[in-house]
Amino acid sequence: MVEILPSLLAADFARLGEEIARVEHAGVTMLHVDVMDGQFVPNLTMGPAVVKSLRKVTKAHLDVHLMITDPDRFSAAFVEAGADSVSVHQEACPHLDRSLRLIQSEGALAGVVLNPATPVSTLDEVLEFVDFVLVMSVNPGFGGQRFLPRSLEKIRQLAERRERFGYGYKIEIDGGVVMDNVAEIARAGAEWLVAGSSVFGAPDSGAAVRALRDAARAGQLV
């Protein structure tokens, strides 16, 4: 089933509790949390303390996307703070197998993220046990960027490999997801669709989530 994951990066940080309540009211069960360190990407956001506070105000699945240079140093702290899933960038992990298994051993789902310039083939050795693969459809660091259409081909490749080898990972997409492309993204095979500005930048975030979800589910059925 396709899910829309509102990205809190686009929410009002002074009112996170209210912003979350509004999208939960529209049926959201998963939230996306962007962690940036100013080194791996040219922006800074939040740490485990924020996740711990979020955990107190929501039962939704907290999906933590680590855009940091040394994720092994912090992944356990995010799980302890309440993350249900944690993803690390292929480009940031020289020991990717270890980084992913570390997250799983802490009790969270482990995901691997691909930047736009990184091919799916770099994941051949981890696809068998990873819980989800996140395809970046923009260069990470900022919300509100335009969707890079080649990401659709990566989603199709991941869906095809999953089918061929009987793997169980979910496929997530992040960046530039809007009403105009959400159906095509779902049709390509993505199930977890992160949406920042198209949800929290809309006048009514609840209505925006419903519209995106309806369009995605309709696209999946085509």
Give the binding range for ligand DX5 (CB under 6 A) out of 12-20, 79-87, 98-106, 195-203: 195-203
Q: In the window 122-181, what residues touch Zn ion (CB under 5 A)?
A: 174
Report the residue number, 140 or 189, with the smaller CB distance to ligand DX5.
140
Q: Note whether 17 binds ligand DX5 by CB under 6 A.
A: no
Q: Note whether 19 binds ligand DX5 by CB under 6 A.
A: no
Nearest to 87 by CA among 30, 42, 150: 30
Crossing angle for the helix pair 205-221 and 16-25, to the nearest 10 degrees = 40
Q: Tell me the one-letter amino acid at 118.
A: T
Check if the beta carbon of residue 9 is closer than 8 Å to that of residue 143: yes
Q: Note whether 65 binds Zn ion by CB under 5 A.
A: yes
Q: Which of 45, 181, 197, 205 binds ligand DX5 (CB under 6 A)?
A: 197
Q: Note whether 141 binds ligand DX5 by CB under 6 A.
A: yes
Cα-Cα-Cα-Cα dihedral sign, residues 57, 8, 51, 88: positive
- Binding residues for ligand DX5, how many (CB under 6 A)? 22
Check if the beta carbon of residue 158 is closer than 8 Å to that of residue 133: yes
Looking at the annotation, which residues are catalytic? 34, 174
